[in-house]
Amino acid sequence: MTNSYAPSRGPERHNAHEQAPRPGAVLTDPVRHPAGAPAPVLAKRAFLLILITLLVPGSAQTVAGSRRLGRVALRTTLTVWAVLIAAVLLLIASRPLLINVLASPPVSLLLVVVLAALSLGWAALFLNTFRLVRPTLLAPGIRLGAAAALVVSMVLSSGSLGYAAYVLNVSRDAIGSMFSGFGPTIEPSEGRYNFLMMGGDAGADRTGRRPDSLSVISVDAKTGQTAIISVPRNLQNAQFSEDSPMRAVYPDGYDCGNDCLINAINTEVTNDHQELYPGVADPGAQATVEAVSGTLGITVQAYVLVDMDGFSKLIDAMGGIKIKAGGWVPISSGEMLDEANGIHGMPLGWIAAGDQHLNGFHALWYARSREFVDDYARIQRQQCVQQAMLKQMDPATLLTRFEDIAQAGTQVVESNISASQLGSFVDLALKAKGQGVDRLTIGPPDFDASFSTVPDFDVIHTRVRALLDGSPAAQAPAVAADPQPAAPAPAEAEPATGSAAAADPQPSSDFTPVTTTPDGEPITREMLDYFKSQGDEQSIRNLVASNGLCAPL
């Protein structure tokens, strides 16, 4: 019996494990002994070895190279597959547990090291496979194609593992910066998790900080159904929860007069009552949590501090947000001409009514601006921005902008939420995504504008309970709303006024932005600046009165 091809007779260097034939073996196997094989066979062999290295790392070495190396690589491959299958089963059985395990600092560090090692090992296997391909035996065109296939395969496999290790390491740093470590587990209160979000300037020296905005995000622990309850920063006589140390100081509520607004609690406790909160990292924030709990009649379990300067960086990292603005919003110069009447200098710019794609700078001003309108229009815009961020934080955005988002998040968020419970809350966030968000404001459009000065806490508790229970009572104002000044209607459209906003506590995206004067003339920056230069503040108020209307796109 003759050989199908004649082996090369010239001198060749063979790896003892790869090329040396067994005694008496006939060199007719082109997989292990390719020298002298026909060109089509060599081409198929080259691409096959690269493919099986991509699909089953170690198999190319087993069939064509060092069997010892192949066995080690195959055992590693099978172990990784087993771990992945176990992770998938755990994901199906208990997604929060899997996330908690992955978020654990020791486990995440181990995963980073393992992923990096697997990435390097897989790359080494590909390089070894390319040597087994014996590119010198291939035709020039096939040689180039095999090299390209190997590079693409390495990027898909080893490169992906390396990127996963990098992303996981970035996540570890972000979690460590934003969350409080592995503290006590937060239990649901009446089936819900309630988080207080406070927006303000959270620099290194936070003494004297007053939260610029206060919102409770309440999430059903089973379904993820979410409600946002906004508390005006100027609410007076806030009630502390029964277990609050501040009840000993203010047993009848925070009632020391016009200076005792709910957003001043953080400052007062930080400056004067830290001894009431031994061992608490941020006594002022904790006291504010207790005041919001007592005021709303619910248990707020945790807080999140959002630094407003970092907030703009986060939105930039997301690529901006898209909203539908009901009216023009000024970007204030900060220059105060008449403090008693709240009159500022010329605005630096304006955010126009209509569909807008806002970058971080403009989104921050859209959420914070209150010139020409009251705090309640601003609260509506803040709720809208929050919803736009939640809606647009999709998997594609996270994947393509993960590093920027994670780094911005470390500048934005500080929280007393334990990292050990991160999995539960990520799971809730996934459940909540795509569901509608119910909203309530302790002020217009849900209450009279003067309500925050002399609040009726029984009424507040009733409305909050109705909202969280899904009762229709949450939609009907308990106190006659005091509408903002009506905005002029566009000549061709139905009026969009402050009264309309008051009648609908949850404005939908079908409202008509106010873009023209009652005479049908388009509203422009030049027009608004002219009124300002003439001291005609009332005309501006009439034109921008609908700017509390907003919907995420």
For residues 203 and 410, is the Cβ–Cβ distance under 8 A?
A: no
Q: What is the pLDDT of residue 280?
A: 85
Residue where one domain finishes, among candidates 162, 178, 194: 178
Higher-pLDDT residue of 235, 12: 235
Res 480 pLDDT > 70: no
Residue 340 · residue 415 · CB < 8 Å: no
What is the pLDDT confidence band of residue 295, given thresholds at 50, 70 and 90? very high
Element at 200 (helix H, strand E): strand 192-200
Q: Is there a domain that residue 122 lies in?
A: yes
pLDDT category, 299, cuts 50, 70, 90? very high
pTM above 0.75, yes or no: no
Does residue 265 fall inside a structural domain? no
Q: Report the alpha-carbon distance of residue 50 to residue 516 in Å, rounded.
A: 65
Quick check: is 106 in a domain? yes
The backbone region for 257, taken as left when phi is positive above 0, alpha when psi lies in -120 to 50, beta otherwise, is left
CA–CA separation, 17 and 7 (whole Å): 18
Vertex 421 angle, CA 382 and 429, to 5°: 40
Closest CA to 481 of 447, 437, 458, 442: 447
Residue 426 inside a domain? The answer is: yes
Per the CB < 8 A criterion, the answer to whether 217 and 303 are in contact is no
Alpha carbon distance 330, 370 (integer Å): 8
Q: Is the pLDDT confidence value at 198 over 70? A: yes
> What per-residue confidence (pLDDT) applies to 115?
93
Residue 286 inside a domain? The answer is no
Predicted confidence band of residue 477 (pLDDT cuts 50, 70, 90): very low
Query: Which tops the pLDDT comparison, 337 or 470?
Result: 470
Domain edge (last residue) among 178, 209, 226: 178
Query: Is residue 217 a part of any domain in this protein?
Result: no
Q: How many domains does the chain have?
A: 2
From the centroid of its chain, how far is CA 307?
14
The percentage of the chain sitting over the pLDDT mark of 90, rounded to a whole number, equals: 28
- For tokens 């470590």, name the residue: 181
Residue type, 264: A
Nearest-CA neighbor of 224 among 415, 95, 408?
95
**Which of these three, 178, 210, 227, is where a domain ends?**
178
The one-letter amino acid code at 60 reads A
∠ CA 434-436-441 to the nearest 5 degrees?
Answer: 140
Structural domain boundaries, residue 518: 306-430+476-552
Residue 69 lies in a domain: yes
Question: Does residue 356 sit in the same domain as residue 494?
Answer: yes
Question: Is 425 a member of any domain?
Answer: yes
Q: What pLDDT, on the 0 to 100 scale, is given for residue 178?
A: 63
